């Protein structure tokens, strides 16, 4: 077996360096741009006396029906970012969400981190999720939220081609934390409430007890909104009239 030449070693190192740079541009750089400055990524609403409470990772057969009951009782409207896999498994809950007047958005098919998703997978994943959500609600989904709020180059560009706006949040309830309590959730939300706030919560978080903590905190969160003079509305209502 002939020894590896210096030239071959240099070529290998150069190829590895180029691959690393390309991956960093696709993931880390795109993620930083998406979170902090990318045009078209919604982070909060207009300065109007409204707040958008949003729920990720559902629908959950254990928590979403109870959540919908609470919203019905208070008259609050919300927005749900569903994974395609969960939506396909629980179609009646998806139909109920839409029938109750809430906005339904796309949260990818399987909730995979953007840094682990190849560019050719992103379009297929979003298209598949949007097709299921659209067929169950009768409406083409207008909103997309990337799992964990992370980006790659494809998740920055693909949603727009599908007619979806990318939305993050301005208030993180931290209901997903293992050590979160209903009181902590309310403190987190209260500290960030303001006109046009977009609140992140979860009805499908797999961590034990997360859904129970969310349900316990939600009535107080809605009360906080009321005391602040903010009406809980859907994302469609908050951005009504905008292109």
Q: Is residue 16 within a helix (H) or strand (E), and if so which, with residue range? A: helix 6-24
Of 31, 102, 202, 203, the catalytic one is: 202
165 in Cβ contact with 159 (< 8 Å): yes
With CA atoms as reference, report the closest residue to 157 among 110, 121, 122, 118: 122
Catalytic residue among 56, 175, 203, 236: 56
* Residue 56 known to be catalytic: yes
Helix (H) or strand (E) holding 151: none
Known catalytic residue at 113: no
Q: CB of 49 within 8 A of CB of 197?
A: no
Q: Cβ distance 198 to 168 under 8 Å?
A: yes
With beta carbons less than 8 A apart as the criterion, state whether 160 and 124 touch.
no
User: What was the pLDDT predicted at 17?
Assistant: 54
Give the pLDDT confidence score for residue 137 in this predicted structure. Answer: 97
CA 2 to chain centre: 54
Alpha-carbon separation of residue 33 from 23, 25, 156 (angstroms): 15, 10, 9
Q: How far apart are CA 238 and CA 8, in angstroms?
A: 59
Mean pLDDT by 10 residues, the chain (243 residues): 60 56 79 84 95 98 97 98 98 98 96 88 94 97 96 92 96 95 97 97 93 97 97 97 63
The pTM assigned to this predicted structure is 0.91
Output the pLDDT for position 229: 97
pLDDT score of 10: 58
First to last CA, the chain: 65
**What gap in Å lies between CA 104 and CA 235, rounded to an integer?**
9
């Amino acid at each position: 077996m002939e020894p590896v030449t210096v030239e071959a070693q240099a070529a290998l190192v150069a190829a590895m360096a180029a691959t690393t740079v390309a991956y960093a541009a696709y993931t880390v750089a795109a993620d930083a741009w998406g979170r902090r400055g990318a045009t078209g990524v919604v982070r909060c609403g207009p300065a109007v006396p409204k707040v958008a409470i949003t729920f990720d990772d559902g629908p959950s057969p254990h928590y979403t029906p109870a959540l919908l009951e609470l919203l019905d009782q208070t008259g609050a409207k919300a927005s749900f970012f569903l994974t395609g896999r969960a939506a396909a498994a629980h179609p009646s809950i998806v139909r109920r969400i839409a029938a109750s007047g809430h906005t339904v958005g796309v949260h990818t098919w399987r909730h995979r981190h953007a840094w682990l998703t190849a560019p050719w997978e992103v379009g297929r994943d979003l298209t598949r999720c949007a097709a299921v959500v659209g067929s169950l609600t009768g409406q083409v989904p207008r909103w997309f939220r990337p799992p964990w709020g992370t980006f790659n180059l494809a998740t920055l560009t693909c949603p727009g081609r599908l007619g979806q706006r990318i939305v993050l949040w301005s208030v993180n309830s931290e209901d997903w934390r293992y050590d979160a309590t209903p009181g902590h959730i309310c403190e987190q939300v209260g500290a960030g409430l303001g006109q046009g706030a977009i609140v992140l919560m979860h009805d499908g978080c797999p961590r034990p007890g997360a859904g129970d903590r969310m349900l316990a905190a939600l009535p107080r969160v809605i009360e906080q909104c009321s005391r602040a003079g903010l009406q809980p509305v859907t994302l469609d209502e908050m951005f009504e009239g905008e292109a």
